[in-house]
Amino acid sequence: MSTAPFIWGAGTAAFQIEGATRIDGRGESIWDRFAAGAGNVANGDTGDPACEHYFRWREDIDLMAELRLQGYRFSVSWPRVQPAGRGPVNPKGLDFYRRLAEGLRERGIQPLATLYHWDLPQALQDEGGWAQRDVVERYAEYARLVLDGLDGLVEDWITHNEPWVTSFLGYAQGIKAPGLRDWAAGVRAAHHALLAHGVVVRDFRAAGRAGRIGITLDLTVARPATQSAEDIAAAERLDGHHNRWFLDALLRGAYPGDMLELYERETGPLDAIAPGDLETIAQPLDFLGVNFYRPNLVAADVSPVLGLREVEQDAEVTAMDWPVVPEALTELLLRIKRDYGDLPLLITENGAAFQDRLDDGEVDDERRVAYLRAHIAAVERARAQGVDVRGYYVWSLLDNFEWEWGYEQRFGIVYVDYATQRRIPKSSALWYRDLIARRNGG
């Protein structure tokens, strides 16, 4: 097992917790626009009030300290810092993150900041968003503003959160903002997100910045529903689409041949991929962030582009209907090491939504405790087999705006009573606090 210090933390994202979407010069994001559209988000929920974290951040970092968190992963809202996606910084927006990072450091909590967790300025979406190449330059400029602005306060940076979701759920499947259903745009968006990542990492090194930079991918374990050749091929396609497209580009400097062929056949010429792009994308990383929730079981099908459908698994499910299969996380981590070599990994998200009930001032979320316990054990099994995992960040610190599910799904280890904005640590938060103490010999 690696002897590098291990960080126990929790994560959130700007749009999911901050609220205050029209305050202090913040610009409109694609999630404001998407949530305002009829039928896009459950119950017509929007980014307000969320957890009002923009106003309550002090109370929230005090809570993190009480829970003994060693690390906190948050994201910076692009439209708060650079409202129109180009041009000068909005000082009030940047100050918010400066104060937050200072507060964390004062409490001995290590900040881990994500530059992009899905809230693109709407002004850039009006020009095509991630599907249009100019976004790469825009993102590099925004990243410079944030890296300069938080210089000396944040040492650990994540360029993107889950570019698969940004591009394919946002531009191809229409499930998330901006809600487009255009597979060719999805493939272009994925490429531009990766290219933007590469440019920012290259600039980070060229500027001689102190600290570490990586990217977070949502990775899956794709399993065939049967041992038929068709289902095995379907699982291989899902793996190519969800995992290898990103991992191979970032860590091998080449897109997987089977997926290039499939996308070309199904979506048309891949002319967004210009000579030299893959070299830019494959910058050496200080770490890879891994988000893991569940494996996928798939069967061959006539559905467009990927030709597969998801099949129900024989496992307990969470409120999202996601199967609970902790051993898949060990398998995934071992696979990353086997196929991509030794590279420091952070589990940047893992957690579960359940139907929590506030009962007599308490939330006894024993199923979440069981989920976390089993997944942490799965991470520790991978570490014992030599996988270099350096940290684990529970998703999420707080119940929050769960994208298209609105406030209906609660992922927090801390319950948020949205009517009063009271924070109530669930049993899982107290359990996690004690686990952190035990793992640190306390």
Count CB atoms within 10 A of the CB of residue 205: 11
Query: Which member of 28, 162, 239, 399 binds ligand FCB (CB under 6 A)?
Result: 162
User: Is residue 411 involved in binding ligand FCB (CB under 6 A)?
Assistant: yes
Q: What angle do CA 144, 394, 66 make, to 5 degrees?
A: 95
Q: Which of 28, 349, 402, 404 is catalytic?
A: 349
Can residue 82 be called a binding residue for ligand FCB (CB under 6 A)?
A: no
Q: Can residue 239 be called a binding residue for ligand FCB (CB under 6 A)?
A: no
Q: Is 157 in the site for ligand FCB (CB under 6 A)?
A: no
Is residue 13 part of the contact set for ligand FCB (CB under 6 A)? yes
Choose the stretch contacting ligand FCB; rule: CB under 6 A; options: 137-145, 160-168, 335-343, 370-378. Answer: 160-168
Q: Cα angle at 435 between 432 and 439, to 5 degrees?
A: 140
User: Are β-strands 7-11 and 389-395 bridged in parallel, bridged antiparallel, or unpaired?
Assistant: parallel
Rounded to whole angstroms, the Cα distance separating 348 from 331 reads 17
Q: If binding is defined by CB under 6 A, does position 164 make contact with ligand FCB? A: no
Crossing angle of helices 427-439 and 366-384, in 10° steps, is: 30
Interface with ligand FCB includes 401 (CB under 6 A)?
A: no
> Residue 158 is which amino acid?
I
Write out the binding residues for ligand FCB, residues 177-236 only, by CB under 6 A. Answer: 218
* Touching ligand FCB, residues 281-320 (CB under 6 A): 291
- Shortest spacing between CB 118 and ligand FCB, in angstroms: 7
Only segment of 76-84, 106-114, 147-155, 161-169 that touches ligand FCB (CB under 6 A): 161-169
Q: Give kind and range of the element (H or E) at residue 334.
A: helix 327-340
**x/- letters, 326..365, toward ligand FCB (CB under 6 A):** -----------------------x----------------
- Shortest Å distance, C-beta 11 to ligand FCB: 8
**Cα angle for residues 235, 236, 241 (degrees, 5° grid):** 95
Contact pick of 6, 34, 171, 403 for ligand FCB (by CB under 6 A) = 403
Distances (CA, A) of 102 to 17, 79, 108, 423: 19, 21, 10, 22
> What contacts 67, CB < 8 A, 6 or more positions away?
10, 413, 425, 429, 432, 433, 436
3-state helix, strand, coil split of the chain in percent (to 5) is 45, 15, 40
Question: Minimum distance between the CB of residue 320 and ligand FCB, rounded to whole angstroms?
Answer: 8
Q: CB 317 → ligand FCB: shortest distance, Å?
A: 14
Nearer to ligand FCB among residue 156 and residue 218 (C-beta): 218
| 127 flagged as catalytic | no
Shortest spacing between CB 73 and ligand FCB, in angstroms: 10
- Judged by CB, which is closer to ligand FCB: 217, or 379? 217
**Minimum CB separation from ligand FCB for residue 406, in Å?**
12
Q: Which is nearer to ligand FCB, 54 or 292 (by Cβ)?
A: 292
Examine the residue annotation and report whether 162 is marked as an active-site residue of this protein: yes
Stretch that binds ligand FCB, among 158-166, 203-211, 234-242, 428-436 (CB under 6 A): 158-166
CB 31 within 8 A of CB 118: yes
- The DSSP H or E segment spanning 161 is strand 156-161
Q: CA 246 to CA 344: how far, in whole Å?
A: 17
Q: State the residue number with the nearest CB to ligand FCB.
A: 13
- C-alpha distance across the termini of the chain, in Å: 21
Least distance from C-beta 386 to ligand FCB, angstroms? 27
Please give the single-letter amino acid code of residue 425: P
3-state secondary structure of 327: helix
Choose, from 162, 236, 402, 404, the residue flagged as catalytic: 162
Q: Which of residues 19-78 bind ligand FCB (CB under 6 A)?
A: none
Contact between residue 241 and residue 266 where contact means Cβ atoms under 8 Å apart? no
Is residue 402 a contact point for ligand FCB (CB under 6 A)?
A: yes
Q: Give the interface size with ligand FCB as a residue count (CB under 6 A).
A: 12
Judged by CB, which is closer to ligand FCB: 344, or 406? 406
Q: State how far the Cα of 152 lies from the Cα of 101, in Å rounded to an integer.
A: 10
Cβ neighbours of 157 (radius 10 Å):
25
Compute the least distance from the CB of residue 58 to ligand FCB, in Å: 23
Mapped onto helix, strand or coil, the DSSP state of residue 44 is helix
Count of CA atoms in the C-beta half-sphere (13 A) of 259: 21
Do 329 and 338 contact (CB within 8 A), yes or no?
no
Site membership for ligand FCB, residue 142 (CB under 6 A): no
Active site residues: 162, 349
Query: Interface residues with ligand FCB (CB under 6 A)?
Result: 13, 16, 161-162, 165, 218, 291, 349, 395, 402-403, 411
